[in-house]
Amino acid sequence: MSSCLLFLMTPRPPPPPLIHADRYPPLVGSANLPTSRRPCPRPGQRHGYLFRCDSSSSSSAPRDRPPRPRQQRQRSQRPGGRGDAVDPVGFLAKLGVTDRAFAQFLRDRHKALKDRRWELCSRFIDLKEASSGFELLGMHRHRQHRIDFMEWAPGARYCSLVGDFNEWSPTENCAREGHLGHDDFGYWFIILEDKLREGQEPDEFFFQEYNYVDDYDKGDNGVDFEEIMHRMKEEYWEPGEIRSRKSQLEMVVKLYEQMFGPNGPQTEEELGEIPDAQTRYNEWKALQKSDSSSLSPSYDIIDSGQPFDIFNVVTDRASFEKFQAKKPPLAYWVEMRKGRIAWLEKYVPTISHKDKYRIYFNTPDGALERVPAWATYVLPDAEGKQSYAVHWEPSPEEIYKWKFGRPKVKGSLRIYECHVGISGSEQSVSSFQEFTSKVLPHIKNAGYNAVQLIGVVEHKDYSSVGYKVTNYFAVSSRFGTPDDFKKLVDEAHGLGLVVLLDIVHSYASADELVGLSLFDGSNDCYFHSGKRGHHKYWGTRMFKYDDVDVLHFLLSNLNWWVTEYQIDGFQFHSLSSMLYTHNGFSTFTGAIEEYCNQYVDKDALIYLILANEMLHDLHPDIITIAEDATFYPGLCEPTTQGGLGFDYCVNLSIPEMWLWHLENVPEREWSMNKIMKVLVSSNQNMLSYVENHNQSISGRKSFTEIILNSGKFSIGSVDGDLIRASLLKIIKLITFTTSGGAYLNFMGNEFAHPKRVEFPMSSNDYSFRLANRQWELLDKGFHKHLFDFDKDVMSLDENERIISRGSPKIHHCDDTSMVISFTRGPFLFAFNFNPELSHQSYHVGVDEAGEYQLILNTDETKYGGCGELKSSQYMRRTCDKRVNGCHNSLELALPSRSAQVYKLVRILRI
């Protein structure tokens, strides 16, 4: 068919089973709806939403997901789990919060959440449909030799596609009558017909299909329609069952001749009296017995004067089995579906792979050209100003084929944070291919089990580190193609690394030529209008989280990266910017009222709940991480208990605490109690790190620079760098061992990269001097020692599962001696932050009596230490001296600026 009448259904409230007073609707299709109340879509509709006219077996297959395994259903105890009972304030009792105003806020938010689900379900049936917009919007190849394009632009009056394929004509390929135009929600639909080659004729039958993608085994053999129909008849029908009928009375005439012969009576008088039905049947039956050559099935129909019913038909077993064995000759219909070979002979694609294009709008303020919001590949033009979308449709021979499955994280999450562009050693923008071949093996060798990528989503301003996103469904073209990124993810999976993406749904670029700002000419398409639609300090736009179509866009974006690129999880960037109308730029005192006052954006909270519900239900092994400087209550609590459903939240206080100490406090005056209070303030599901890209970017120094170049740190040895760098080791170790099951390290910090990160910008004359990593330092001096130490720490956690155990139990924290000790499971951790004083006999308390084996010592010579501990001191045995409230204690030797990890290897019962 050249076109189909595909219109969106008028929004209607969903049937009662979809919305429950206490539970959100299950993520299943309409198959679970009662038959009497199920919406009946018109031809060309699916679940009340526009879809392509596919007729393949795959398109007609049920879209519902199979039942989830039992272990996946039992998610009520993990963050994001649904659970059986819904309590909007359930997590408050767990956290010991008794504020009535906040509890009422959570109840009101839950009511608003149910209303928002109702709005979504009235349009998209469920969250699965609401997050699958990428299957329809954007540009997709249709099976019937055409390409369908859909875009949401409610403020536009006219829509067309312009590009290389039509010489940038704004009138040739437009949404016009017969090609749907736009619906009541502002979705425009354009059909791009593939072009017949010269000398080829259009097909006579509308159901003839030429598939550009699939290379069918059948269908390209040149068999015409008449021959296929002939072969079908020969296979399916018995001889004599198919007869040509010249008129409607032919069957009547033949039956009359059979009864009375060729010279039968012509009038009623000549006919005489007709015998009764039973007599006529017996006579006919006798004739049938003598005619053994008859191939017709022996169905006996007796007219008893009763109304006809299927159960009146009587047949013999042989005829019945013969009839049941008949199968429709569908194999011949497959030959009407021709594959790529026949397609190439008959058609030329209307838009070819790598063709440039944009979308053209006519708006009340004039004509506009925009990059489609759902474009999957975007490139800048020759001048680097106006960008354009690129149609990415490689041939089946060239398309990337996945080789490895998704790995699963067991125990703790050890994340290696990277920026692809600065991952090379050269002063230039590195690529996906270079990152895959050089950096991924290093990450695996360093002992990390996850890689987190920042700046991957397309952005125009490189100096923004990738946080001012312009095109949410496209990988950054400056790093490579979509297939290059797929190979990166695939190779990471092959190394056993899960891939996390830093996603920015908290704001968007304000660029009007390539981004979403003023996309259809109106100021409130994707974003709030007025001051609320603009970030006060960053110059970015703020999403309108209460709009169903904006939710459709954002939820589909999350699902797109998981479905198309096999991403294993997300870190949601800068939630503080979206959760508050003041964008997080306000003084927080820690009062609970600050999380439920008039500045809190309830719609943004509801979006995060929907995002976590969708991701965890459609992709049970997904990982979601919240980056929120305000520590909003319930970040990692189940959504059914009033939480937001994240798996982990980032403790942003830890790096700020370390930075403040390094820059403002002399080392001898550090408070151990203040340090531990920040490290273990909220340990459960907490991702900790010493420094990420924020601590070393654009004017700020890295911790290595601060420690090595500052005069505040005393030197007690000839090798000053090694002594001062030992502080980095104990800072990393205590941060790692107190984390809540997840730890993050920024690229290069594992070997104490000596320089900060600074992206090319006007202030540095667009220099790449600091926009790279000095990998050559891995094998030099104290950098090698620190890398060996970091690698052994990661290996220790891989083998012993240290940070995935229970929360740390602090036994000793003394500001005078600057010693800290705590246990975690069978492991004892002892730290001496004193830069000058070593302790030869220091007693620390332990709960369990026994023998403790030293398994990690920062003072070892292989880590650049002094090696003060002798081998005889590696095994320690408890004594019954009470220390720090513990019945048992260990006597340890603690050199200055050092830390030790002991493992209980033998329990002594007294």
For residue 237, pLDDT over 80 is answered with no
State how far the Cα of 322 lies from the Cα of 547, in Å rounded to an integer: 60
At 212, the pLDDT band (50, 70, 90 cuts) reads confident
For the ranges 333-347, 358-372, 686-700, the one whose mean pLDDT is highest: 358-372
For residue 70, pLDDT over 60 is answered with no
User: Which pLDDT value is given to residue 714?
Assistant: 46
State how far the Cα of 610 lies from the Cα of 87, in Å rounded to an integer: 16
Task: Give percent of the chain above pLDDT 90.
Answer: 55
More confident residue, 107 or 27: 107
For the chain, the 3-state helix, strand and coil shares in percent, each to the nearest 5, are 30, 20, 50
For residue 5, pLDDT over 90 is answered with no
User: Which pLDDT value is given to residue 824?
Assistant: 93
Average pLDDT along the chain = 83
At 827, the pLDDT band (50, 70, 90 cuts) reads very high
User: Which pLDDT value is given to residue 365?
Assistant: 87
| Burial of residue 204 (number of CB atoms within 10 Å: 0-12, 13-18, 19+) | exposed
DSSP string, 8-39: PPPP-PPPGGG--SSSPPPS--GGGS-GGGS-
State how far the Cα of 527 lies from the Cα of 517, in Å rounded to an integer: 8
User: Which pLDDT value is given to residue 233?
Assistant: 75
More confident residue, 756 or 321: 756
Q: What is the pLDDT of residues 309-354, one digit of tens each?
A: 656 555 667 777 777 777 777 677 777 778 888 888 899 999 999 9
Q: What is the pLDDT of residues 249-299, one digit of tens each?
A: 666 777 777 777 777 777 777 777 777 777 877 777 777 665 555 555 555
Amino acid sitting at position 138: G
Q: What is the mean pLDDT of residues 474-480?
A: 95
CA angle 207, 211, 213 (to 5 degrees): 160
State how far the Cα of 692 lies from the Cα of 685, in Å rounded to an integer: 18
State how far the Cα of 80 lies from the Cα of 531, in Å rounded to an integer: 33
Which residues are catalytic, by number?
627
Amino acid sitting at position 738: T
User: Which pLDDT value is given to residue 721?
Assistant: 63
User: Which pLDDT value is given to residue 22?
Assistant: 37
User: Which pLDDT value is given to residue 124?
Assistant: 92
For residue 898, pLDDT over 50 is answered with yes
User: Which pLDDT value is given to residue 681?
Assistant: 77
State how far the Cα of 554 lies from the Cα of 604, in Å rounded to an integer: 12
For residue 483, pLDDT over 90 is answered with yes
For the ranges 448-452, 765-769, 866-870, the one whose mean pLDDT is highest: 448-452
User: Which pLDDT value is given to residue 309?
Assistant: 63
DSSP string, 688-739: EES--GGGGBTTPPPHHHHHHH-TTS---SS-HHHHHHHHHHHHHHHHHHTS
State how far the Cα of 350 lies from the Cα of 906, in Å rounded to an integer: 74
For residue 308, pLDDT over 70 is answered with no
State how far the Cα of 258 lies from the Cα of 127, in Å rounded to an integer: 65
Q: What is the pLDDT of residues 500-517, one digit of tens each?
A: 999 999 999 998 888 999
User: Which pLDDT value is given to residue 273?
Assistant: 78
For residue 55, pLDDT over 60 is answered with no
At 640, the pLDDT band (50, 70, 90 cuts) reads very high
State how far the Cα of 160 lies from the Cα of 708, in Å rounded to an integer: 60
For residue 563, pLDDT over 60 is answered with yes
Q: What is the pLDDT of residues 861-887, one digit of tens each?
A: 999 888 898 877 889 999 988 888 888
At 53, the pLDDT band (50, 70, 90 cuts) reads very low
